[in-house]
Structure 1
């Protein structure tokens, strides 16, 4: 799936007629990286959406989930721990603990942090 996203990024770059300097400047400004290979899975999804908003005619692959493995783990632990296991409630929890992204757009570092807080909560709750 990651390779497919990288392909879409490069197709979008070509469709938009971006030269290498402009493309790398975009990556640097938006993702603090100089290569799409260094961007997280969720970051690649954001990059594809950004290229779409600029006019690229690319589509995210239709799959069961566009969530990273860590995001799926966060969701699974949330559903087994929370009294109100909805996406909105998880977003509220994530914001309350200081993560600025919605749970399904977190990078791996943010998802790891949220997962650890959920595990601690689960231990306190006795699940």
Structure 2
């Protein structure tokens, strides 16, 4: 990486936006109303808007908010959201196919499975489910399959 790449306008803009977002998250987390927030900004930096702050002033405000109890959630912690494992996803897809073979579904496509998952959990795709949500989907599918199988006529009748 080039030494000058660290100070590119895009990186500086991204850093500025992240710092402004951190300031606003801190204000919300600390429960500051607008007038208190603007008074704090003015007393610290001489500006009434965070958009007017330079790099050093943004850092100064963030440090002040930290000293008042603001705790920033690390990005790694946010990204570490647990996802359903492959066994759970395979179980969901397997039950979905069994429902199709049992005649309960007219279309067993992934698109229809995603629509079912969204209706049940509010999450767009099965791959994005947390383990607890995947268990909920699996249990609903198992119950549905049990009802379909119970209604099916016995072979040979």
When normalised by structure 1's length, the TM-score is 0.50
* Higher RCO (CA 8 Å, separation ≥ 6 residues): 1
- What is the TM-score of this pair, normalised by structure 2? 0.41
Higher radius of gyration, 1 or 2 = 2
